[in-house]
Amino acid sequence: MKKIKILSTKKLSEDLRCLFNDSKFDFFHDDFISIHPLKFNLPEHNGSWIFTSKNAVESIFSTNKNINKYFNKIYCVGKNTKSLLIKKGQKIAKMTQNSSDLADFISKTAKNEEFIFCRSQIKNEKFSDFFKNKNIQLKELITYKNLANPIKHNQIFDAILFYSPSGIKSFMKNNLLNDSYCICIGKTTSNYAKKYSDKVLSCNVPTIENVINKTIKLFNND
């Protein structure tokens, strides 16, 4: 029986790779994005902070000491980001599954607060513009660089797993989607994938585990 070829655009741990049955799937994985933390001094800020990725959390805690004096109130996106912040000794005021839901929540319940958003050098224009249009004070702090690592694959995959728009951009530099399914971690990534494909699936809860489970379920139904 011909195996189903799967490519993950992020390297996965052995525990996650093992979810793909070797007898059914031919699994490949590469890091199409490399993360480079930046050194910087955290500004004094008595307001609230926003984290939408683990990468920003890792960058801040790896490059700054006496971190606890900075954070009063934290809003974040994703349970993995929340778990890492809690592991670092922080308390979370609110977590949502995606950045648009977080922006909506803040506009309804915390619009008078002042925010610092910790992010990569790639700006989420929609997120930033939302705060501007709602007259909510938002300063943006670049904490890490998100760089493309466009690896070329000379084969066609049945499905490709994507975790960010930048991962899609990196993949597309040296590869074609052909007729592959695009299994995306969340709404922002899937919306970007739809620019290139009409075979896009998205997870309701954005976790790597759910990307894998959705992929397996897709081909179990074939």
- Look at residue 2 in the predicted model and tell me its pLDDT: 87
- Same domain (yes/no): 118, 189: no
For residue 165, pLDDT beyond 80: yes
How confident is residue 71, by pLDDT bands cut at 50, 70 and 90?
confident
Burial class of 18 by CB neighbour count within 10 A (0 to 12, 13 to 18, 19+): exposed
User: Cα–Cα distance between 8 and 168 in angstroms, integer?
Assistant: 11
CATH number at residue 171: 3.40.50.10090
Instruction: Please name the residues in contact with 210: beta carbons below 8 A apart, sequence gap of 6 or more.
Output: 185, 203, 204
Helix and strand totals (H; E) in the chain:
8, 11
For residue 219, pLDDT beyond 90: yes
For tokens 């989607």, the residue is 177
Each residue's pLDDT tens digit, 101-152: 999 999 999 999 999 999 999 999 999 999 999 999 999 999 999 999 999 9
- Same domain (yes/no): 39, 141: yes
- Look at residue 222 in the predicted model and tell me its pLDDT: 60
Each residue's pLDDT tens digit, 190-218: 999 999 999 999 998 889 999 999 999 99
* Number of compact structural domains in the chain: 2
- Look at residue 16 in the predicted model and tell me its pLDDT: 94
Burial class of 59 by CB neighbour count within 10 A (0 to 12, 13 to 18, 19+): buried
Enter the tokens of residue 175: 């590869």
Q: Which of 146, 165, 200 is the last residue of a domain?
A: 146
> Averaged over 86-97, what is the pLDDT?
94
User: Cα–Cα distance between 90 and 57 in angstroms, integer?
Assistant: 11
Kind plus residue range of the DSSP H or E element containing 33: strand 33-37
Structural domain that includes position 15: 4-32+151-220
pTM over 0.85: yes
Q: What angle do CA 69, 71, 74 make, to 5 degrees?
A: 165
For tokens 């490949």, the residue is 28
